[in-house]
A and B are shown apart, each in its own frame.
Chain A
Amino acid sequence: MAANASIIGRTTRIRGRVSGAVDLEVQGFVDGEIAVGGDVTIDTHGMVGAGVQGKRLVVRGAVKGDLLGSEAVLLEDGARVVGDVRAPRVVIAPGALVRGFVDTGDAGMPAPRASRSTAAARPAAAPAHAPARAAAPPPKAEAPAAKAAHKPAPPAHLAGGGNHAPAPSPSVPRRPPPPVVPALKKAKGQIAKKKER
């Protein structure tokens, strides 16, 4: 399997679809979709004209299409992306430019401590979260296990500063998690749509 790493070289242009189970590096131009099971690197001179799917996407080049990483999307200096970015881990470095919707995967609402009016403004999301203190991720921490297949979001860091400890906080879940998540997800979608207009 590892006999050949796959590389789309600098002067290579592919018009069509690239798929497979392994890693792929793009230094040239893929005018079409990429969907692989491994990692995808789009180098400084690399360009992709449609959506990219993979485990871990690292972009330093240009993409016109949605980026979907089952593990992570890392946009590095030089990246130019027009499209939506979705992954449990999204990092956008200084020098990377993006136009599109970005979801770090675990961005449930930042429990708005500041306001009550928010609860009114976002009825669907607020009830689940409003009582939760910023430091109390339990309702979410429980959830990912159940829906790992769809969204393997690490229940990382609410107040944790930079650390990315994947240890789900064992602190008491104050309410049963299952009903919370669907409501939250739906609300996220609605809000996103509203904002897109």
Chain B
Amino acid sequence: MASTVIGAGITVEGEITTDEDVVVAGTVRGKLSAKEGVTIEHGATVEADVAGGSLVVAGALTGNVTASERVDMQSGSRVIGNVKAARVTIADGAQFKGNVDMDV
């Protein structure tokens, strides 16, 4: 259950901290820390360092990412920043620039 949704048309400038799932379809600038899943939807803009359990990116993300489980960059996504997670996937059609750290 996605309990926090930053919908299209909403902009958050600042720091988001949560224990629940987060879906971003709008804009987040600052910092995003979640314990569970983070989904950055197609059309979303995130300019923030992101921490979470697992992260799915379909939109645009600029910032460093840390996930306790995994990071999936989907086709059409655009990620600029360093990614640290046990498992990282980059789909065909995803744009990515940065370092990947898969240390366990």
Contacts and interface: CB of A to CB of B under 8 A. Distances in A.
Asked if A and B form a direct contact in the complex, defined as CB atoms under 8 angstroms apart, the reply is yes
Contacts of B12: 14, 16-18
A11 B20 contact: yes
A5 B3 contact: no
B25 A3 contact: yes
Interface in B33-78: 41
Contact of B3 (A1, A7, A32): A7
Determine chain B's interface SS by DSSP, over half rule: strand
Interface string A1-17: 10111111111111111
Contact of B25 (A4, A13, A21, A32): A4
B98 interface: no
Contacts of B8: 1, 3-4, 22
Interface centre among B4, B13, B20 (most CB of A within 10 A): B4
B19 interface: yes
Nearest to B15: A15
A13 B9 contact: no
A45 to B, nearest CB: 12
B53 to A, nearest CB: 14
A10 B7 contact: no
Interface of A: 1, 3-22, 24, 27-28, 32, 36
Interface of B: 3-20, 22-23, 25-26, 30, 41
29 contacts: A1-B8, A4-B6, A4-B7, A4-B23, A4-B26, A6-B7, A6-B9, A6-B10, A7-B3, A10-B3, A12-B17, A12-B20, A14-B17, A15-B15, A15-B17, A16-B13, A16-B14, A16-B16, A17-B12, A18-B12, A19-B13, A20-B7, A20-B10, A20-B11, A20-B26, A22-B7, A24-B10, A28-B18, A36-B10
